[in-house]
């Protein structure tokens, strides 16, 4: 599988370093970023090619991994799918825009392309996907992050947001992709609370889901990336695992 990457920041660097270290049938060959120097640096590390235009990679790849931002995803997704190229989305928050999500789905169907979204920085999405076969009556996310992660200067715990996921992703577009993943998996606009807490040094996500299946609660305490505290290491690892799964013949989990 030949892979291109859009967005050559912290997540892309982790993915490339892990994929390169193994013989797994995956080749990350093309790199695109609005900052051409970042693309060139990562391409040099991977022995790949930095391109100045997205279209320069689309005839040569099987899948494009977007690791940039919701804004960037909206600017590249439709062009990628028009080429019939598969797309892996890290900026899931962009898919909370229903019109955009519908266009993505229609183009993917029309051109026999697939759109993938890794589980990201939370656990329990497999259970939510299974429970959505029935009736989910309640779903919520409480996220607690350090001031550094949220770009705030506070000395005491503070609730920054309390409301629906569709609003949270607009106010915190690069911090709360997990809310979008949960909402889409639940088929509902979940309740979200975001807390900045100077006492924590990890990105903490507490998920609660209730329905006719029963109920469950998960807590993830994720170590942030050194180069980007807004991003959890688990988010990058989930993308790596999904990429590897394309060449596996046995699948565990929903």
Decide if 222 contacts 200 (C-beta within 8 A). Answer: no
Q: Of 144, 145, 205, 230, which residue is the catalytic one? A: 205
Cα maximum dimension of the chain: 52
Token pair of 68, please? 């940039």
Phi, psi of 215 (to 5 degrees): -155, 155
Q: Distance (Å, rounded) from C-alpha 94 to C-alpha 174? A: 10
Residues in Cβ contact with 188 at an 8 Å cutoff, skipping those fewer than 6 apart:
136, 139
End-to-end CA distance of the chain: 23
Identify the DSSP state of 174.
T
* Residue 205 annotated among the catalytic residues of the structure: yes
Q: How many CA atoms lie within 13 A of 203 on its CB side?
A: 25
Looking at residue 96, the DSSP 8-state letter turns out to be G
> In the numeric block, which tokens belong to residue 84?
């019939």
Q: How many CA atoms lie within 13 A of 212 on its CB side?
A: 4
Task: Give me the active site residues, please.
Answer: 205
């Amino acid at each position: 599988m030949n892979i291109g990457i859009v967005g050559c920041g912290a997540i892309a660097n982790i993915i490339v370093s892990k994929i390169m270290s193994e013989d797994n049938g995956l080749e990350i060959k093309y790199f695109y970023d609005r900052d051409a120097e970042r693309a060139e640096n990562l391409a040099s590390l991977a022995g790949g090619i930095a391109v100045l235009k997205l279209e320069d990679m689309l005839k040569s790849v099987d899948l494009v991994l977007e690791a940039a931002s919701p804004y960037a995803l909206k600017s590249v997704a439709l062009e990628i799918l028009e080429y019939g190229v598969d797309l892996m989305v890290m900026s899931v928050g962009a898919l909370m825009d229903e019109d955009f999500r519908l266009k993505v789905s229609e183009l993917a169907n029309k051109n026999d392309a697939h759109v993938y979204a890794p589980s990201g920085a939370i656990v329990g999405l497999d259970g939510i996907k299974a429970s959505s076969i029935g009736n989910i009556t309640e779903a919520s996310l409480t996220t607690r992050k350090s001031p550094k992660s949220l770009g705030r200067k506070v000395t005491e715990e503070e609730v920054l947001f309390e409301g629906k996921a569709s609003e949270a992703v607009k106010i915190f577009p690069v911090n709360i992709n997990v809310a979008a993943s949960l909402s889409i998996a639940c088929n509902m606009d979940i309740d979200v609370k975001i807390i900045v807490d100077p006492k924590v040094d990890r990105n903490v996500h507490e998920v609660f889901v209730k329905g006719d299946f029963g109920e469950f609660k998960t807590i993830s305490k994720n170590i942030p990336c050194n180069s980007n505290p807004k991003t959890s290491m688990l988010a990058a690892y989930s993308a790596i695992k999904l990429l590897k799964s394309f060449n596996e013949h046995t699948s565990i989990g929903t």
